[in-house]
């Protein structure tokens, strides 16, 4: 039974929504040169449906394809865990270790990690923003050290570093020799975080996933990358729920 319909919404960008079980979700449509077929996915963190297609694909046909997947999409959203707001008492990880966010007017506005707590002061309604900004600062420092280490091992120049929050990639390396890493990796165990950094550093010399690329990665990374990959596959979705917008 088809339980969906798509409709245009009057916005500046002429957005489209798709109806699933009586709920409307934004439908993000992207035409990509590298796409070879139409694909639909449920972004359960942002609460939206993503539709990608080749440049030559017919948009109306792609929308019908998305509608044909309504049962599957509805199930994905029904199964999804809710976002985890960062408030007083929230449990979250830092470098793979569990910490409790603790707020008090007596604490410094700048979060501090003390005895298994991340202590933060200032206005209580700003806890989440302060903690996320602090974690981004911590991430930048850790990633810079990681990059210096692996670039030394790979015998390559240090790239420009930026901090992001991509949903589908933990890291990326551009042809301009710049590396972008998700701040959320700062919550993962150090070896998991470092495996991603080493992966992107290896791309500075090999912009592919060839045997030569993996040979370099295995040479510069001191851990077992397959274990790190498995950890991210199992626990990565939970990291994206921390401080995610409410659906």
Q: Tell me the pLDDT tens digit for each residue of 77-122.
A: 777 778 899 999 999 999 999 999 999 999 999 999 999 999 999 9
CA–CA gap between residue 57 and residue 205 (Å, rounded): 35
Handedness of CA 163, 235, 128, 113 (dihedral sign): negative
Q: Tell me what the pLDDT averaged over the chain comes to.
A: 89
Measured between its terminal Cα atoms, the distance across the chain in Å is: 25
Q: What's the pLDDT at 10?
A: 34
CA–CA gap between residue 80 and residue 73 (Å, rounded): 11
Q: What's the pLDDT at 173?
A: 94
Contact 50, 41 (CB under 8 A): yes
Q: What is the pLDDT of residues 2-24, one digit of tens each?
A: 444 544 333 333 468 888 877 88
Q: What's the pLDDT at 13?
A: 39
pTM over 0.85: no
HEC letters along 72-139:
HHHHHHHHCCCCECCCCCCEEEECCEEEEEEECCCCCCCCEEECCEEEECCCHHHHHHHHHHHHHHHH
Q: Are strands 16-20 and 6-8 parallel, antiparallel or unpaired?
A: antiparallel
Percent of the chain at pLDDT > 90 equals 62
Q: Taking the C-alpha atoms of 50, 51, 52 and 56 in order, what is their torsion angle to the nearest 10 degrees?
A: -160
What is the DSSP code (8-state) at residue 146?
H
**Nearest Cα residue to 50 out of 167, 203, 156:** 167
- 45 pLDDT exceeds 90? no
- 232 pLDDT exceeds 70? yes
Q: What's the pLDDT at 26?
A: 87
CA–CA gap between residue 38 and residue 57 (Å, rounded): 8
């Amino acid at each position: 039974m088809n339980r969906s319909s798509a409709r245009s919404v009057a916005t500046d960008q002429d957005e489209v929504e798709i109806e699933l079980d009586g709920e409307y979700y934004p439908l993000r449509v992207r035409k990509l040169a590298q796409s070879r077929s139409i694909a639909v996915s449920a972004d359960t963190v942002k609460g939206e449906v993503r539709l990608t297609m080749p440049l030559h694909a017919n948009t109306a046909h792609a929308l019908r394809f998305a509608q044909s997947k309504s049962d599957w999409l509805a199930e994905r959203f029904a199964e999804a865990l809710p976002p985890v707001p960062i408030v007083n008492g929230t449990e979250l990880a830092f470098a793979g270790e569990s910490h409790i966010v603790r707020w008090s007017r007596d604490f410094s506005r700048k979060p501090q990690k003390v005895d298994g707590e991340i202590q933060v002061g200032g206005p209580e309604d700003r806890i989440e923003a302060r903690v996320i900004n602090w974690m981004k600062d911590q991430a930048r420092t850790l990633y810079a050290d990681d990059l210096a280490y692996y670039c030394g091992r790979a015998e390559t120049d240090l790239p420009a570093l930026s901090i992001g929050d991509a949903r589908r990639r933990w890291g990326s390396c551009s042809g301009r020799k710049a590396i972008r890493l998700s701040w959320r990796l700062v919550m993962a165990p150090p070896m998991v975080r470092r495996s991603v950094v080493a992966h992107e550093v290896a791309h500075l010399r090999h912009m592919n996933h060839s045997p030569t690329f993996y040979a370099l990665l295995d040479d510069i990374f001191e851990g077992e990358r397959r274990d790190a990959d498995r950890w991210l596959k199992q626990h990565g979705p939970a990291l994206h729920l921390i401080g995610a917008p409410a659906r």
